[in-house]
């Protein structure tokens, strides 16, 4: 395999110049840099990552801790899109992505922190996990740079979707369509759920809406069986809601099945809305009203901030970055304001 010395000899420059060119240093002319890169490629040069790690104390590796309790893995519409954006941004900056082993049934498994140190990760991104897990807390408060997605730790970098304003705008939209009896099936207990539920109640109070306790139900995220059952319970009430908000678009499919099995029409007989803005929901008939989260920006920003923590730790400000979403009206909420 070609070495830096071999490339320097062919190009007629010093080894230091070759090294700077391959690492995109600004004090090397573009023509010289491109010529050195071309020659390196033609000669089959590949950097010695182990040697580079010893010299720079960096592996250019980032760990991803992603544990989906629903076992949907990377088919999880929201987080798969976030992580895809994260991966693209990180790879453009020269970082490789590796998932941290999260299978707790293996007898030889390491803790999240042990695995991260074993792999030599420069940083870790955490998403869709039990943030109360002691192993997670141990990793978050270690010396490894971390960024969390949709969860806040004290004095740690976080990128979160604006769940408070997203829910507020959704409730305001449904209200503007004349709905006064609005039910909310929220997800299981989490920071995201708490933000959305508090925003739901606060917005309802601001609008002067009375929300009966029977209108607030729980169903796990992405669990269509739960939303099917809970939707039937809501429709069986003496005074059922005119609109049901679901924890996420995927879970809304269960509610849609329950509604249609009763011979009811959406939105003529009952209105519904979801949350997330997943691709599959855009092809429903009628098109689902939802809050589309900016998964591309969330992933991009998480990667950008983690790389800043890795490469510029002394000048990077630890902060919580909030990414706004947007209500997409769709056709699943009827306008009953004139009734």
pTM, rounded to two decimals? 0.81
Question: Is 136 in the same domain as 238?
Answer: no
Question: Is 255 in the same domain as 194?
Answer: yes
Any idea what the CATH number is for the domain that residue 117 is in? 3.40.50.2300
Using DSSP, state whether 184 is helix, strand or coil.
strand
Question: Is 142 in the same domain as 80?
Answer: yes
Residue 331 lies in a domain: no
Q: How many CB atoms lie within 10 A of CB 92?
A: 11
Residue 336 lies in a domain: no
Question: Is 172 in the same domain as 264?
Answer: yes
Quick check: 256 pLDDT over 90?
A: yes
Quick check: 41 pLDDT over 70?
A: yes
Question: Is 234 in the same domain as 274?
Answer: yes
Residue 258: how many CA atoms within 13 Å on its side-chain side? 22
Quick check: 257 pLDDT over 70?
A: yes
Nearest CA-CA partner of 3 in 53, 30, 40: 40
Strands 216-218 and 271-273: unpaired
- Which domain range does residue 234 map to? 163-293
Question: Is 149 in the same domain as 65?
Answer: yes
Cβ atoms 329, 273 nearer than 8 A: no
Q: Give me the pLDDT at residue 26, please.
A: 79
42 or 242: which leads in pLDDT: 242
- pLDDT bin (cut points 50, 70, 90) of residue 189 is confident
Question: Is 188 in the same domain as 232?
Answer: yes
Q: Give me the pLDDT at residue 57, please.
A: 60
Residue 338 lies in a domain: no
Residue 182 lies in a domain: yes
Residue 332 lies in a domain: no
288 or 27: which leads in pLDDT: 288
Non-local CB neighbours of 27 within 8 Å, separated by 6+ positions:
20
Segment 62-66 mean pLDDT: 93
pLDDT in tens, 192-249: 999 999 999 999 999 999 999 999 999 999 999 999 999 999 999 999 999 999 999 9
Number of domains in the chain: 3
Cβ atoms 334, 267 nearer than 8 A: yes
Using DSSP, state whether 176 is helix, strand or coil.
helix
Q: Give me the pLDDT at residue 16, please.
A: 85
Residue 233 lies in a domain: yes
Q: Give me the pLDDT at residue 51, please.
A: 54
Q: What percent of the chain has pLDDT over 90?
A: 68
Residue 13 lies in a domain: yes
Question: Is 117 in the same domain as 222?
Answer: no
Helix H, strand E, coil C: the string for 230-276 is HHHHHHCCCCCCCEEECCCHHHHHHHHHHHHHCCCCCCCCCEEECCE
Residue 271 lies in a domain: yes
| CA R_g for the chain | 25
Quick check: 49 pLDDT over 70?
A: no
Quick check: 71 pLDDT over 90?
A: no
Question: Is 106 in the same domain as 151?
Answer: yes
Go through the chain and tell me how many residues it has.
339
Question: Where do we find the tokens 């059922």?
Answer: 240
Q: Give me the pLDDT at residue 55, please.
A: 54
Question: Is 112 in the same domain as 149?
Answer: yes
| Greatest mean pLDDT range, 98-107, 204-213, 278-287 | 204-213
Segment 41-57 mean pLDDT: 64
Q: Give me the pLDDT at residue 69, please.
A: 57
Question: Is 206 in the same domain as 288?
Answer: yes
Question: Is 277 in the same domain as 168?
Answer: yes
Quick check: 78 pLDDT over 90?
A: no
């Amino acid at each position: 395999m070609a070495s830096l010395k071999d490339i320097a000899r062919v190009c007629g420059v010093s080894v230091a110049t070759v090294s700077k060119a391959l690492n995109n240093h600004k004090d090397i002319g573009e023509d010289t840099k491109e010529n050195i890169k071309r020659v390196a490629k033609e000669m089959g040069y590949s950097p010695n990552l182990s040697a580079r790690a010893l010299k720079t104390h960096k592996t250019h590796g980032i760990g991803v801790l992603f544990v989906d309790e629903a076992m949907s893995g990377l088919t999880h519409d929201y987080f798969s899109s976030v992580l895809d954006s994260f991966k693209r941004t990180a790879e453009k900056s020269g970082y490789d992505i590796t998932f941290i082993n999260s299978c707790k049934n293996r007898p030889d498994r390491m803790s999240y922190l042990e695995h991260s140190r074993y792999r030599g990760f420069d940083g870790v991104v955490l998403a869709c996990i039990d943030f109360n897990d002691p192993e997670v807390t141990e990793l978050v408060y270690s010396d490894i740079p971390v960024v969390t997605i949709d969860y806040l730790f004290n004095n740690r970098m976080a990128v979160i979707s604006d769940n408070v304003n997203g829910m507020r705008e959704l409730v305001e939209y449904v209200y503007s369509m004349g709905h006064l009896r609005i039910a909310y099936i929220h997800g299981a207990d989490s920071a995201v759920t708490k933000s959305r539920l508090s925003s739901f109640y606060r917005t309802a109070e601001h609008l002067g809406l009375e929300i009966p306790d029977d209108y607030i139900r729980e169903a796990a995220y992405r669990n269509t069986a739960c939303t099917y059952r809970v939707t039937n319970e809501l429709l069986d009430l003496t005074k059922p809601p005119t609109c049901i908000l679901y924890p996420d678009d995927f879970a809304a499919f269960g509610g849609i099945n329950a509604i249609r099995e009763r011979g009811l029409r959406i939105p003529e007989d009952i209105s519904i809305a979801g949350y997330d803005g997943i691709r599959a929901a855009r092809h429903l008939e009628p098109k689902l009203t939802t809050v589309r989260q900016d998964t591309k920006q969330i992933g991009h920003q998480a990667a950008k901030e983690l790389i800043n923590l890795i490469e510029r730790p002394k000048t990077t400000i630890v902060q919580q970055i909030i990414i706004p979403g947007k209500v997409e009206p769709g056709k699943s909420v009827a306008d009953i304001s004139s009734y």
